Homo-oligomer: A and B are copies of this chain.
């Protein structure tokens, strides 16, 4: 078991582009409620089964196991409800801190978020110029929520 402590932000501009290669992610949920989530994820050529507990502040307990990619494909095809999450992940190290930028595809196209994993909730970190509004704790941006209510259903498209 690991404790996952993450803060999540929207992007302020496009200056992060070109700093990392895109890795395609495909994930679905065997279970998702406020008590726990069970996620099946294909990340590039690897696959994982991940159980997360309830979110408390910016923290969650997380249990992650690597699984055969054929198992993940079969579970995504046969057991996880649609729609699922398709996104590109860009991993960028900025002044010693690792950021994961997710550019969503499909019904969540137009949404881009950046996450930083921290050692504790109070830890300070340098904020890159491409980081925008913080959305930590806004449950609409949870990946499990983006399956049920994709970005396109609640985002205001007016310029």
Contact = CB atoms under 8 A, between A and B. Distances in A.
Interface stretch (A12-20, A60-68, A84-92, A133-141): A60-68
A36 B74 CA distance: 13
Contact of A38 (B31, B70, B78): B31
A127 interface: no
Contacts of A61: 74, 78
Counted per complex, copies of this chain come to: 2
A5 interface: no
B79 A53 contact: yes
A63 B30 CA distance: 13
A22 interface: no
A35 interface: yes
A63 B67 contact: yes
A81 B34 CA distance: 13
A112 interface: no
Contacts of A75: 51, 63
Interface of A: 1, 30-31, 35-36, 38, 49, 51, 53, 61, 63, 65, 67, 70-71, 74-75, 78-79, 81
9 contacts: A30-B31, A30-B36, A35-B79, A36-B79, A38-B38, A51-B79, A53-B78, A61-B74, A63-B74
